[in-house]
Structure 1
């Protein structure tokens, strides 16, 4: 049914009638008012009124006239000036009549539709709200309604903003009115003399419960003081960026106001009644009013911030004092609670002890734990105070982290990078952050203490359960046993409750420490991401040289060095153990070094012996190498420790202390590497390194240590002084000198013609190392010069950070070299053991005849060379991957490559969270980079697994050879599947997202490649069920041979002609074959022997039986059988049947039996017959006679002519 819409013209007519009646009524009312009306009865707007532009209908003008008449103010149409409030009633009636007449005269039937809105009425938030409700209830077009509502909502939001800014302005004005008095009062309190110390409260007459209540109240006071100080600090940290941003915000607001005021009143389309125009006009007026108010608010805020520049620091000082006093009072109340608890505990234990006999007191568990109980009470209060401090630290670190995150994000959003000043601030902040190692150590200590408390609690709970199960019989004491158990039970419960309190405090402390650790790690990560390439020094110039020279003179002045020696002597006196350690280090360098080097030479000779299969010489050489490298480290470190313990207040002296310590840590890896490379040392004698290359590197390290150590010592002193001028001049010069020395060292050691790789490149001229020498050699030599250039340009922080990562790389190289050399040595010894085992096995067992030459995979242990090659490749791959991972960890602080690669988004995946929500995650280039090592490692493991498993595990297990092959094959498949799974996980290919693809591919491949899949499954069945095994002798059709390998798709059988028959696995599972060695390898040998007629058959059979009995390979059960089976054409046929336990010796045994039979028959005069033939001569050449033929043993021969 169509919706009913009333006629607009009827509404217009009704409206005109109602307006006329209203005007007449107003005229009557005004006539009753006295002629003289004071101005106090009316309120006439004096400010600028909302403007009404555009074409107004006569209805709206009439409404305006009525409104003005009702308020005593008449506004003439188009004049804009209001009449006097004292206008007489006839004037009002005349104006109303004129308005009505004008409306009647100008009424047009085409424009009778009345608008819903009037911009002059929409001057505040309440009017806008009412208008929105009217529009919602109106019957106008839906699209027009939504359009108008959207415009009115914007206007309503603008008025809300205006009201909020007006409230802020009032607050700022109030602040400005009292700022002078507040600042003066705060300064007077700060400048006053220090307040008197906090008096310890009198708690002598308070019970424990009252003391706890006082402590709880004081805890609330401390928390309030801390929150107040935190709020002030947060406000101070936010004031500076806000102060810098306000002028820009004010300028933008003024520009916005100018744009709004200059904006024309364009008539919208599809606006028959003018409602959209009215709404747009109201929106514009609201935005102008809100913008004007915002400008005033921002200006007052700027004035307030400038006025409070002195007040906030003063308030912070007062808040810190308040927090310190509250904390001190809190400690007093906590100490009172502890003392009260301790006194009550001692009193209860003393009373309980008095109620027991001496024997019972000695057996009481709670009395034995008295000292532990008191210690836990004291520890609880210490931990409580520690928890308060850690909570404050955690809050401060969290506030600092959030503040820096907001500042960095604001800089990145506004300028696209962080400001240099902020970068320098972050660099300084990084140096002030707590040491992560000490924080981790503290967390471990707290965890250990929690475990101890839980163990003690468990013991007490066991005692509690024992007391609960005890009877009520009388003890030897004066009170019943049940009462004793009840008293001890009550004390045990209190002890357990105190332990629970201590555990809870420790757990809270642990959480706070872990929160600090996480926030500190995030803050360091944030700093490392943004501050590397921030210039923190001015470029080096000529005016820095005089400063550097003066600083060097001051540091190396004889007076300064004398002060250092004095501090060293004072520290030696304060720490008695230091002289002993230094003397021990010196004696080790002088006397023990010679003996250790001799021992190293002896170990080298032993390691080079061909029959050495033990790792003991190598392990001993490693320990001696470390012992030879430690004395220099100990000497330098404890010199620095002695200077530091002198507690000198001179920063230069303390800088020397840190310099010696840093020098000790710097020289340790270099000296360790030098000792590894010494003659007859680990590298040459144990790791089989090239001797000329080793000697070249060792000489370079010696020069680097001797020259670089003083440079590093002086540079560290410059850094620790804390003077930016010294750091930027002398410190930078020493850094450049050290980088130059490193470049010279790299040139000498890595030169392709006389460096450490020269011999290898000569032996392998086509290797990648040789081909790319023109790339890697200049890069290595130029790296220190690049750091020098960075330092010269003022990026000192970046240069130092990169150099520190380079130092970590040196440590990584030393560790990788030692580990790889040790693994190589271990593999060599392992190969020697395997080779000896193979030699012994070949010596003890007879090889197969005509089978030994087959290449049977895994039939026996792999050859030693193959095991070594496979394992070596795998170990090298693992070491290289470990080095790559180590390099990523070492260089991660300065090269956040993974985060940089996270910016390159490739594709997205949907992940189902445990709560049921679906999260969209992006797969970035970083995921691809992380997947590459997984794929490479999987490939290396799968390729080299047989040799590794054979050499490490399988040869030591009591399993047969076929089982070894099955284990390695199935393990290879499993590792390959696992590697593929991990790679897919890294790339976002999870099972829930690709299972449909796998199902589709499975169906498709199942039909298209069903034979391949059938062979694959059959191969797995062969490995597990083992109907045939590697090394079995099988007959398949007309082919008999040895199973040499079982693969995924097919099995290889090698026949006696060394021909390889590839058989699909499906045929072996579904078809018929003969396995000669499946469950019972016993096989029968049948030998046919023909002897000449006239021989003794009984003696021949006895001889054959004796030969079989004497042979070790012939089975006794079933035993051999000899039979005389017939008369041949020329022989008496004997048959020998014997059984062998294995096929391995079949051909060898047959050969030996034939040889033995021939020898014994010849010795016994038994002739092995050969075929006899009769020759009939039908004709004979003339002149030729036939000699007489002697009779033969094998029979008669007849000649006829």
Structure 2
């Protein structure tokens, strides 16, 4: 490079030395910098001093940590210095030796090119098959080694060519780092004043070692830049020599493979002819001989077939390897162009063409799966052949087994004939095993190479997709660009040049296309039964009127019939498109029109299917209960939109698939813009919150986020196609097309998920109606059974069981359904936008800030990019949705398990929510580079604040966690705290909610449950004791009374037999004999009702037995301080039929 430049300027050779002089000046250290290693510590000194500090007992831990960190830095800098010095010596040595090595390599390359062949590449004609196989295996190994060497040289050349920019940037950073370090005397006087001597020495060593490491790195970079041209020239010659060797080796390999295939085919054909001859000769022999001969013929036929397939596999592998090399070279060239010139419109068009030339990876993956099946079949054949080979080792025993049923007089002759057949089989099996081994190896190698092509093509496609989305692919719309429209229109309307070819292709294909005629028969049948399908859809709504006949199967049937009703026209378009695509003689216009038919058919099917759901009496009308006005608006929007979008889309897709931007580029752009404007109008009519599809959903949940944000999402959805149209007119046609394709796919996804959501809600409604009906029937049967029971007092009221909360169950299920639909939408959107997502990796190039991180044991600055911030937003969004909905899913799954109580489900749900939040925080901090060392000061400050003002809140939070883990209190438990008894309904971070029997909710701080006294009625056992004191009058029979109480307790169905009821005579009261009934209940459910029943039974049975329940007696003391007029009168009772009132007592009013 340098001599060439000097020859162009013979009078001014010093000009060519200016770049190298500038590099040398840039590497000169600043004034005052040390250029020698005077007083630089050695590695042994640093390690010895570090060992002394570790073993010292006089230093505290803080001082040890500080000193060891300084020594660690010094040791690392010394290690870097040694490595930089070694690399600098290597680069300086290459600067001297590389020219000589390059000349020697060039002479070797010229000699290799002059030699037409190498001695080892000569193939003798008398080689045996085994020798050919040995040579081929060695050639394959040599090819693999040379390919690896060539790939390493290509990477080395690319790395070396791209290295100068990074090296110069690093040299600038090194110079700045040297300037920032400053001089050592300034460090001694400023930073280390007043510090211990050990720390001063450690800091000085670290400083000296760091400066020396930076100086050595600068020297290494200088030598690297100076030696770069010589090294590149040497690497290029080595690459050319390796490429020539590889070419010769592959030629030698192909010659061996061709010779091996010829030998295999010849041997297989000879074996097949011998087997056929033996089969003809065995025609009049014993049936056993004919059968075994037929087996040999089958083995020989398989041998010949595998030999032919091996020849095809070799050709296929050569084509795939050529494709792999082409893609690798294109990929490497694209990278070099981008790094050299950046991404321009012209280069963007070239890369776009390269992307369209990438192979169809779906076919490659399908071929890999097919070959995997072939490998499995070949392995099974090998197992059978080896088993047969094992049996043939003892041929006499094998013959005895075969001739066991042969008559004695024929056995000797048959045995002799079979011996010849089995000898032939032995040779055939040996050949088959060899060829099957080669077949399996060849299939595996071919799969490996194909997998490499798929991997490289995917990487290349992602590389192109990442960059093509941001480049202008066409000039902005203008007068010049519109001049091509007349030619494009003529291209579209030319019957002689285009449509006649399509008609001819169809006529030629349809003569033998039985699949097309079968599909056409389906289309005709569906069109003929279209009216019957509409009647069947409306008939599915008849069973919906009655709860007993209603069922989700009617809705599923209606949807299936609707999908069939929408099928004819899209199916016909798809059939025509596939026939045109399958033609081998199709013109470019024919292939473009075929692609347009197949692609537009899918979108049209979605539109027609959704319109079929919205017909009068259809699924949306009778099953989903959408309003009539909404359905009419949807039908009207789909009718005009389908009539507009289908022809425009056909033209747009055909123009795009034509791959001729000169003829059809502007036509494609304008029709694409027309499609976007059509979708804008369609979204306006379909999604209008006041009149469109979501009107009913928004009315059902006016407080939901969908309704609250309707002024945000509706303008965004309507404006998205308009924005894409503006991008296309501005020249970003490829970008607009890719985004628009994903937007259209997202539209179909939303419509499909809407139908799925409504179907699930419909199933929920059917289930709720059936549960309500079943509950009503059970209540009615219970009332009838209760009223028909004999000897039941009319005063006892029937006790109804508690109804399940269907409304609450529906709300929980709705939340679960919405969460499931949401996650399905996320997965669907990920798939829909998968072609566009690689482009957003460009955000990784925009670094917002840096943080120190350790990567593979090396501490370095790690950038936080715009992509990381976007990932954090995604993490926060997903965590928020998961924290709200995933616990509901867990609770729903645990609801099926009877072993988990309601309190346990609540604890698991709450802990799951806490765990999701904690994981989200950890992922966010990790993505943004926030480590513990960076936030520990914040934690310390929070600790101080907690100690002063937030201790109660933290105590309640910790107490809440203890409650969730230890579970002294669970949701649903009945507790008494203070003077309040009620049911625990909610356990939150700060407080727990208790609802008392008056339906009042009391918020109790969680700390009260841990530090205070708590009575939990249902902690470990819900059994509870009922104590009923009974007072009977003096003179009553206490034994009879106790017997009656015992019978009442034993006869009640809710009173437990174990523990048994306990009856006691407690004492003699002032007014009564005190008896006490103590009995146990299984749970607290219905406790008050059971006590009422027991009281009622005691009162009734005591009344029947004549036992008087006592009442208090009181003595009345009258004051004698004043005279009292006391008169006693006996009341006269009037007859029952008398109308006279009884006389009033004297002295009363």
Is the structural similarity TM-score above 0.5? yes
In structure 2, the residue matched to 1:338 is 264
Residue segments in structure 1 that go unaligned for 5+ positions in a row: 1-46, 52-138, 144-149, 186-200, 250-286, 301-311, 412-416, 847-858, 1192-1201
Distance 1:525 1:511 in 2: 21
**In the alignment, is residue 965 of structure 1 matched against residue 903 of structure 2?**
yes
In structure 2, the residue matched to 1:1186 is 1128
Distance 1:171 1:1033 in 2: 92
Q: After superposition, where does 1:767-846 map in structure 2 within 5 Å?
A: 777-829=714-766
Specify which of 1100, 1103, 1110 is matched with residue 1159 of structure 1: 1100
In structure 2, the residue matched to 1:707 is 644
In structure 2, the residue matched to 1:504 is 441
| SS of equivalent residue, structure 1 residue 658 | helix
Query: Would the aligned equivalents of 1:1050 and 1:1062 in 2 still touch at CA under 8 Å?
Result: yes
Query: Would the aligned equivalents of 2:630 and 2:693 in 1 still touch at CA under 8 Å?
Result: yes
Specify which of 678, 702, 707 is matched with residue 741 of structure 1: 678
Specify which of 549, 573, 576 is matched with residue 511 of structure 2: 573
Number of matched pairs: 948
Distance 1:842 1:912 in 2: 70
* CA 880–391 in structure 1, closer or farther in 2 if over 3 Å, else same: same
In structure 1, the residue matched to 2:128 is 207
**In the alignment, is residue 630 of structure 1 matched against residue 567 of structure 2?**
yes
Specify which of 1172, 1178, 1191 is matched with residue 1113 of structure 2: 1172
Q: Give the number of the structure whose alpha-carbon radius of gyration is greater.
A: 1
Distance 2:992 2:986 in 1: 6
- TM-superposed CA distance for 1:419, in Å, is 3.1
**In the alignment, is residue 404 of structure 1 matched against residue 334 of structure 2?**
yes
- TM-superposed CA distance for 1:910, in Å, is 3.5
Deviations 1:797-831 (A, max 9, x none): 33333332332222332333233334434444565
Q: After superposition, where does 1:582-621 map in structure 2 within 5 Å?
A: 582-589=520-527, 591-606=528-543, 614-621=551-558
Distance 1:672 1:941 in 2: 33
* CA 351–333 in structure 1, closer or farther in 2 if over 3 Å, else same: same
In structure 2, the residue matched to 1:419 is 344
**In the alignment, is residue 866 of structure 1 matched against residue 804 of structure 2?**
no
**In the alignment, is residue 656 of structure 1 matched against residue 593 of structure 2?**
yes
Specify which of 920, 928, 953 is matched with residue 893 of structure 2: 953
In structure 2, the residue matched to 1:273 is none
Distance 2:584 2:667 in 1: 26
Deviations 1:457-509 (A, max 9, x none): 56667888999999989935689999999999998787556544433332322
In structure 2, the residue matched to 1:99 is none
- TM-superposed CA distance for 1:581, in Å, is 1.5
Distance 1:768 1:1042 in 2: 32
* CA 498–754 in structure 1, closer or farther in 2 if over 3 Å, else same: same
Q: After superposition, where does 1:368-767 map in structure 2 within 5 Å?
A: 375-411=305-341, 417-454=342-379, 475-476=400-401, 498-542=435-479, 548-549=485-486, 551-553=488-490, 555-556=492-493, 561=499, 564-589=502-527, 591-606=528-543, 614-644=551-581, 648=585, 650-751=587-688, 754-757=691-694
- TM-superposed CA distance for 1:636, in Å, is 0.7
Distance 1:471 1:978 in 2: 73
Q: After superposition, where does 1:199-348 map in structure 2 within 5 Å?
A: 207-212=128-133, 332-340=258-266, 342=268
Distance 2:549 2:316 in 1: 59
Distance 1:1103 1:889 in 2: 77
Cα RMSD between the aligned structures?
Answer: 6.4
- TM-superposed CA distance for 1:868, in Å, is 3.2
- TM-superposed CA distance for 1:635, in Å, is 0.6
* CA 704–1090 in structure 1, closer or farther in 2 if over 3 Å, else same: same
Query: Would the aligned equivalents of 1:636 and 1:660 in 2 still touch at CA under 8 Å?
Result: yes
Query: Would the aligned equivalents of 1:225 and 1:322 in 2 still touch at CA under 8 Å?
Result: no
Query: Would the aligned equivalents of 1:1034 and 1:1043 in 2 still touch at CA under 8 Å?
Result: yes
Distance 1:324 1:710 in 2: 53
In structure 1, the residue matched to 2:26 is none
**Relative to structure 2, which stretch is displaced further, 604-613 or 1004-1013?**
1004-1013
- TM-superposed CA distance for 1:638, in Å, is 1.3
Q: TM-score, normalised by structure 2?
A: 0.67
Query: Would the aligned equivalents of 2:313 and 2:442 in 1 still touch at CA under 8 Å?
Result: yes
Q: TM-score, normalised by structure 1?
A: 0.64
Distance 1:742 1:486 in 2: 76
Distance 2:711 2:984 in 1: 51
Deviations 1:1047-1087 (A, max 9, x none): 67776665656674747579669978575673472635433
* CA 676–1162 in structure 1, closer or farther in 2 if over 3 Å, else same: same
Residue segments in structure 2 that go unaligned for 5+ positions in a row: 1-9, 15-35, 41-83, 115-122, 166-221, 234-239, 404-411, 784-800, 1134-1149
In structure 2, the residue matched to 1:1087 is 1029
* CA 157–465 in structure 1, closer or farther in 2 if over 3 Å, else same: closer
Specify which of 903, 914, 927 is matched with residue 868 of structure 2: 927
* CA 941–543 in structure 1, closer or farther in 2 if over 3 Å, else same: closer
In structure 2, the residue matched to 1:16 is none
Distance 1:838 1:596 in 2: 37
- TM-superposed CA distance for 1:580, in Å, is 3.0
* CA 461–946 in structure 1, closer or farther in 2 if over 3 Å, else same: farther
Distance 1:1020 1:726 in 2: 71
Distance 2:95 2:1065 in 1: 125
Distance 1:863 1:444 in 2: 53
- TM-superposed CA distance for 1:838, in Å, is 7.5
| SS of equivalent residue, structure 2 residue 319 | helix
Distance 1:389 1:1081 in 2: 81
Query: Would the aligned equivalents of 2:1056 and 2:1082 in 1 still touch at CA under 8 Å?
Result: yes
* CA 1013–364 in structure 1, closer or farther in 2 if over 3 Å, else same: farther
Deviations 1:913-960 (A, max 9, x none): 5xx77786544332332243334333433334554344x43343332x
Query: Would the aligned equivalents of 1:571 and 1:646 in 2 still touch at CA under 8 Å?
Result: yes
- TM-superposed CA distance for 1:425, in Å, is 0.9
In structure 2, the residue matched to 1:283 is none
* CA 140–367 in structure 1, closer or farther in 2 if over 3 Å, else same: closer
**In the alignment, is residue 1144 of structure 1 matched against residue 1144 of structure 2?**
no
| SS of equivalent residue, structure 1 residue 988 | helix
Query: Would the aligned equivalents of 2:651 and 2:671 in 1 still touch at CA under 8 Å?
Result: yes
* CA 821–168 in structure 1, closer or farther in 2 if over 3 Å, else same: same
Query: Would the aligned equivalents of 2:848 and 2:863 in 1 still touch at CA under 8 Å?
Result: yes
- TM-superposed CA distance for 1:530, in Å, is 2.5
- TM-superposed CA distance for 1:618, in Å, is 3.1
Query: Would the aligned equivalents of 1:867 and 1:948 in 2 still touch at CA under 8 Å?
Result: no
Query: Would the aligned equivalents of 1:457 and 1:496 in 2 still touch at CA under 8 Å?
Result: yes
| SS of equivalent residue, structure 2 residue 1054 | coil
Distance 1:528 1:886 in 2: 20
Specify which of 910, 920, 936 is matched with residue 853 of structure 2: 910
**In the alignment, is residue 1019 of structure 1 matched against residue 963 of structure 2?**
yes
Query: Would the aligned equivalents of 1:574 and 1:646 in 2 still touch at CA under 8 Å?
Result: no
Deviations 1:359-393 (A, max 9, x none): 99869999986665654444444333322222221
| SS of equivalent residue, structure 2 residue 469 | coil
- TM-superposed CA distance for 1:396, in Å, is 1.6
Query: Would the aligned equivalents of 1:739 and 1:784 in 2 still touch at CA under 8 Å?
Result: yes
In structure 2, the residue matched to 1:6 is none
Query: Would the aligned equivalents of 1:732 and 1:791 in 2 still touch at CA under 8 Å?
Result: yes
